[in-house]
Amino acid sequence: MDLVDVARFHSLLNRRPNAAARLFCANELCTSTGQPRSAASLAARFAAKEAVAKALAAPAGLEWHDCEVVMRADGSPTVVVTGTVLAAADQRGVTDWHLTMSHDGAYAIAYVVAESRRV
């Protein structure tokens, strides 16, 4: 789980113009209609990435672009992991991801469950 202060996150994006490109994949920055996402929406996605790192015990070397928040056809969010994040997930036996995220007012929040089907 991770909680992000939206105003503080928005301030970070304004202070560091390259921050959004460093933290997010191109598809995460815009809605399905091509409109830029709000700071609150990006903060929720950032919270999801942080929650994924926490679920993996935050190993060193995880790359932000190796964890992408995507929307399924039914409209529910999930994460797609590749590269460094996939390697960490594989090492821990993670086979499935479950994600919920929200934002309201000053805060954005995300909960991630990393599921292992090992018996």
CATH of the domain at 63: 3.90.470.20
pTM (predicted TM-score): 0.94
User: What is the C-alpha to C-alpha distance for residues 51 and 70, in angstroms, rounded to an integer?
Assistant: 15
| Predicted local distance difference test score (pLDDT) of residue 32 | 87
Q: Residue 17: what pLDDT?
A: 85
**pLDDT of amino acid 106:** 97
Sheet containing strand 94-104, edge to edge, reads 2-5, 107-116, 94-104
b/e map 9-42, b = 16+ CB within 10 Å = beebbeeeeeebeebbbeebeeeeeeeebebbbb
The phi and psi torsions of 24 (rounded to 5 degrees) equal -125, 150
pLDDT along the chain (119 residues), means of 10: 98 95 96 94 98 95 97 95 97 95 97 85
Domain with 77, as residue range(s), is: 2-116
Give the count of domains, the chain: 1
